[in-house]
Amino acid sequence: MISRKSTKRLIRRWAYDRGYIVEPRRHVTLIALAERLRQIFADYTIETVIDVGANEGQYGAFLRERVGFAGRIESFEPIPSVVQKLRKRTAVDDKWTVHERALGAEAGHRTLNVAALTVFSSFHPIAQEHRATIPVAESINVAMTTLDAEIFGKVDLRHTYLKLDTQGFDLEVLKGAPRSIAHIPALQTEVSFQPFYRNMPSYRDSLDAFGRHGFVVADFFLAAADGNRVAMEFDCLMVRPPGRAPNHPERTNH
């Protein structure tokens, strides 16, 4: 008797040989995102991915397993208990480096609200209407630095992809990266249509902020929806068209 697992494998092989991919419905968005990233990585010759808000390494694993990315991954995650799990995942990957700290507008320390489901941890307070579904387990003090301090001059930014997933803090990371962002050709940020957190930027704020640095929207992928299936957040892929400079480049002193 053929097992259920063997049956699935046979169906997938039969479909693949005929030019199709069989996946669970929940993976459909991941397939589309992986294909889009492969295109962007090829167009911009991406060699390094800066993974800000890495959590347990889900995005890095997605890049390796689904996108087929074999370059460097630099993951930033500030929660000590989560970093332990992240380090276990990266232990056998010599091109994947873990940095136990948060990124923001300036260096220092800041209180992080650690959610029971750690992917929802944020420097912003959780909005009143979501406190029941996203309970905070604890608040901890974490070290914070800036993207410029961490990567400027250390990687070839012309071939670097920036992934931001900081639960409403992406624009603060952007403020700490005036030198780096001018050279990065493509990125991914979460944009909010219905805020999970208080004081977080709206999708318009996010698109305008990155737009001022020369980026345009390349694609949207639904990240979260409410109980009525109304969109709450999207992963927004943005690129800088060749030859397009920031509209308002920030001046830095050297």
Domains delineated in the chain: 25-239 (3.40.50.150)
Query: How does pLDDT run along the chain (254 residues), one tens digit per residue?
Result: 566 666 656 666 676 566 665 555 555 678 999 999 999 999 999 999 999 999 999 999 999 999 999 999 999 999 999 999 999 999 999 999 999 999 999 999 999 999 999 999 999 998 888 888 889 999 999 999 999 999 999 999 999 999 999 999 999 999 999 999 999 999 999 999 988 888 899 999 999 999 999 999 999 999 888 878 888 899 999 999 876 655 544 444 43
Q: Round to whole Å and give the CA distance between 188 and 231.
A: 18
> Are 138 and 79 spatial neighbours (Cβ–Cβ below 8 Å)?
no
* Closest-CA residue to 192 (of 184, 181, 202, 180): 202
Instruction: Give the pLDDT confidence score for residue 249 in this predicted structure.
Output: 45
User: What is the reported pTM?
Assistant: 0.86
